[in-house]
Amino acid sequence: MSSIGSKWFGEGEKYARAVFTLASKISPCVVFIDEVDSILGSREKSGEHEAMRKIKNEFMSMWDGLKTKENERVIVMAATNRPFDLDDAVLRRMPRRLLVDLPDADNRQKILRVILAKEELESDFDFKAVGEMTDGFSGSDLKNLCISAAYMPIREIIEKEKKEGKEMDLSKTKKRADKGKEKADDAMVQEDEEDEDEEQEDPEEREPPVIRALGMEDFVKAKKENSASVHEDARAVGELRKWNEMYGEGGNARGKDLSYFL
């Protein structure tokens, strides 16, 4: 939308026309519109600017194929989670309307295998168990779950380093307190020399910590921190299913016969 819209009259229509002109030149081509409701929403909305209506009209006239040649193969695909906000003329130009529902257990396993393809997993890692315990998760929710699980080994390393650092500080403090009891000058000088030796004996170049493989326990902990972002009983899900029954693939938008079609 930001690439097509303009504050000057006529510029938006020109950009919309340019999209299909470029697509026809490089055909076969697919024009994909994400969040299509933001640009091709219902024209009955109150307060909509006239320039926006002209952009929609130009976009749909080019989409309709009235200005394309027979040998040009341009496919238009669009995605939205609010199809009920689309203009009726847009729906007429979409012969197939597919509902991408929440993945079931088998599809969740496939999504997890794709996300974790490059991750090091334990030999007995069970994708099926993770897929079954993530009921209602979308693809984005599964990605967030995997990110949280991947942080678990990192957190363990950080906590271990913090613990070792605290123990080292306590041992140094105790050693200095014991040596502080000796008030002789030669003892103080010796302490300074030993501290310098300790710093020299503790080089900065340490081997990087080894990150362990991800296991089921990591995903169980991550599941407590991440939940499904969409619920089956949510209002938006109900509206989507209702719209799909009426206008989606295999739906019946006609309902009952209209008198002016007889």
pLDDT at 217: 93
- Out of 111-115, 225-229, 258-262, pick the least confident: 258-262
Q: Tens of pLDDT along 137-173?
A: 999 999 999 999 999 999 988 888 888 776 676 666 6
CB contact set of 240 (below 8 Å; sequence gap of 6+): 81, 83, 99
Is the predicted pLDDT of residue 116 greater than 60, yes or no? yes
CATH of 11-95, one of 3.10.350.10, 1.10.510.10, 2.60.120.260, 3.40.50.300: 3.40.50.300
- Out of 125-134, 198-207, 252-261, pick the least confident: 252-261
Taking the C-alpha atoms of residue 202 and residue 225, their distance in angstroms, rounded to an integer, is 38
CATH number assigned to the domain covering 105-229 = 1.10.8.60
Mean pLDDT (whole number) for 110-115? 95
pTM of the model: 0.67
Where do the domains of the chain lie? Answer: 11-95, 105-229
Taking the C-alpha atoms of residue 46 and residue 58, their distance in angstroms, rounded to an integer, is 20
pLDDT at 54: 82
Mean pLDDT (whole number) for 124-148? 92
CB contact set of 37 (below 8 Å; sequence gap of 6+): 80, 82, 83, 85, 86
pLDDT at 57: 84
Q: Tens of pLDDT along 78-112?
A: 999 888 888 888 888 888 888 888 899 999 999 99
